[in-house]
Structure 1
Amino acid sequence: MLAIDLAKRCFQVCATDPGSAVLFNRALSRVKLQQLLSDHPPCIVAMEACATSHFWGRFSRGHGHDVRLIPPIYVKPFVKRQKNDAADAAAIAEAALRPNMHYVEVKSHA
C-alpha cells in the first residue's frame, strides 16, 4: 500500500507491505510521485480526501491502483505522535487498513 500525505510541492509517501510493516516513509517531489505511481505494481493508494486528492486519485486509477480517499476527521485519531508529514502518512496507512473505514468516491474529471 502507498499512503500519501498530499502537499503542493513535496509529498510524503508511506509504503507498507501486506503485513502492514513500513517499507519506507519518505518525501517525494511531484515528478517522483508521478513516476512512483506509474511504475509501481497495482496496489492500494490511500490519501486524505481534499481537493487535490481527486486529481491524484484519477491519476492513480489510470495506472491500475485501488484508490481510497479517507475523510481527514477519520485519519486524525491514528496520528500517534506530533503532527508532521511522516506521522500523517503513517496514520493514513493505518486508517486505510481498518475494515469499517468510510471512503470518499473519487470525482471524475468534469
Structure 2
Amino acid sequence: MNKSTTIGIDLAKTVFFVVVLDQRGKQARRKKLRRSELLPFLANYPEAMIAMEACSGAHYWAREMESLGHVVELLPAQHIKGYLRGQK
C-alpha cells in the first residue's frame, strides 16, 4: 500500500467530493464526481488510505473500495466536526 497518499471522500446523494492529500498532508487534488464516476476514478488511482464519514451508504462504498485494493477508514460522525472548515 502506498502510505503516502490519503483520500478523503464526502459522500452525498448524487455528487461526491474527493480530496487527495500527498505525503506531507498538502492538498494535491480536489475533484467533484458523480456517483457513476467514483469507482472508475478510484480504480485508476494507486492504492491509498481512504477516509469517509460513517453513514448509511458508507459501508457499501467501503466494500467496493476495498475490493479495488484500497484501505478504508470510516470515521464516526461525532469525530468529523474537528475536520470541518467554514461555517458548517
1:15 counterpart (17, 20, 27) = 20
Equivalent residue in structure 2 for 1:62, among 49, 67, 72: 67
Counterparts of 1:52 and 1:80, CA distance in 2? 23
| 1:28, distance to aligned residue in structure 2 (A) | 0.5
Q: What is the aligned residue count?
A: 83
Is the aligned partner of 1:76 residue 2:84?
A: no
- 1:50 paired residue among 50, 55, 67: 55
SS in 1 for 2:57: helix
Question: In structure 2, which of residues 17, 42, 49 is the aligned counterpart of residue 37 of structure 1?
Answer: 42
**1: CA distance between counterparts of 2:60 and 2:42?**
13
Q: Distance in 2 between matches of 1:27 and 1:20?
A: 20
SS of corresponding position for 2:85: coil
Root-mean-square deviation (CA, aligned residues, Å) is 1.0
Question: Which is strand-richer, 1 or 2?
Answer: 2
Identity %: 35
Task: Supply the distance in 2 between the matched residues of 1:66 and 1:79 (Cα, whole angstroms).
Answer: 22
The structure that is helix-richer by fraction is: 1
User: 1:18, 1:3 → 2: CA distance?
Assistant: 14
Structure 1 runs (4+) deviating above 3 angstroms are none
